[in-house]
A and B are shown apart, each in its own frame.
Chain A
């Protein structure tokens, strides 16, 4: 299977494994008492595990600390950094497949990477904590209410099947759809647009990746500055400066193309 420079075969198959793990209802299983490692809307009819961001948002809104969910995410981050983003996240696979659609491609200005930290702080933690939870309104702008992954895999299936019973109507639905359409368009034209700008789970993994037991490192003494790594980085990093940073999804594409093996994956403290 030829998947092109931005998604290696191995990562594609890992992505399918990740998609299967979080959509356990495909196999008749439901384990929503545990959080999955990636962004996965637990409202999706196929979801078999909980979304850590969904649990955190809900917990903030009822002013409770979800130790299990936070502990799960931080432990995964401490062990693997952003490996989940690069290998297991189903939305990451979708983005890399959409990016293969032949259209004009664009880059993103560097400041856009900070939006995901703002989303984590405001839409996952601060606003739910301050405003509380109310089931009867769509007006509250929490992360789940605008999450394109949730709209794609939960809102739309319920809406089309008619089983939502008028739940998703009016301005709330329009806002969700608008955000989804914007991100789908961005995914086609900008590599890994959602991961780079709006994924709060990626923000958490990015914040802890500096302390992770698994990371991608570069030996600047061996590096010849050929720039081959920059050309294959799915998140368009200046690899020689930023590999292993909070923005690096540890996909290892740069490792594969480095002609002098200056970049490698390091395991352990």
Chain B
């Protein structure tokens, strides 16, 4: 069990490291050029429901001042 615990912790740390350093999401927008979003930016966008999925692509809100920029729909 000791080896399993260590292996699990290492796997979790590797996933966290990937999230911190390597996570990337391609985000499209009608206002700005397509860009890559880091894990931090994605979490922040998720917290305000700031992305939509259209035809398997992530899009930022089309209109500036869209309500979802200000308030989470929770």
Inter-chain contact count A-B, CB under 8 Å? Answer: 136
> Chain A's nearest CB lies how many Å from the CB of B73?
6
Would A58 and B49 be within 8 Å (CB), given that A33-B44, A135-B68 are in contact?
yes
A43 at the interface (CB under 8 A from B): yes
Which interface residue of A33, A72, A77, A133 has the most chain B CB atoms within 10 A?
Answer: A33
Would A68 and B16 be within 8 Å (CB), given that A32-B43, A34-B40, A133-B53 are in contact?
yes
**Beta-carbon contact of A132 and B2 below 8 Å:** no
Q: Which 5 A-B pairs have the closest CB atoms?
A: A68-B19, A68-B39, A71-B16, A43-B72, A43-B74
- The interface of chain A, by Cβ under 8 A from chain B, is 32-35, 41-43, 47, 50-51, 54-55, 58-59, 61-64, 66-72, 74-75, 77-79, 132-133, 135, 144-145, 147, 150, 154-155, 158, 163-165, 167, 208, 211-213, 269
**Beta-carbon contact of A43 and B71 below 8 Å:** yes
CA separation between A204 and B40, bound complex, in Å?
Answer: 21
Would A269 and B72 be within 8 Å (CB), given that A50-B43, A74-B15 are in contact?
no
Would A135 and B49 be within 8 Å (CB), given that A43-B72, A67-B39 are in contact?
yes
Of B19, B46, B68, B73, the residue contacting A50 (CB under 8 A) is B46
**Beta-carbon contact of B18 and A59 below 8 Å:** no
Chain B residue total in the interface (Cβ 8 A): 40
- Provide the residues of chain B in CB contact with A212, threshold 8 Å: 5
- Provide the residues of chain B in CB contact with A154, threshold 8 Å: 72, 74
CA separation between A50 and B49, bound complex, in Å?
Answer: 11
**Beta-carbon contact of A167 and B71 below 8 Å:** yes
**Beta-carbon contact of A208 and B43 below 8 Å:** no
B36 at the interface (CB under 8 A from A): no
**Beta-carbon contact of B53 and A269 below 8 Å:** no
- Provide the residues of chain A in CB contact with B9, threshold 8 Å: 75, 78-79, 211, 213, 269
- Provide the residues of chain A in CB contact with B71, threshold 8 Å: 43, 158, 163-164, 167
- Provide the residues of chain B in CB contact with A55, threshold 8 Å: 43, 46-47
> Chain B's nearest CB lies how many Å from the CB of A119?
16
Of B1, B12, B68, the residue contacting A71 (CB under 8 A) is B12
Instruction: Known pairs A54-B72, A75-B15, A269-B5; list 12 more (Cβ under 8 Å).
Output: A32-B43, A32-B48, A63-B53, A64-B42, A68-B19, A68-B43, A69-B46, A79-B9, A150-B74, A155-B74, A165-B67, A212-B5
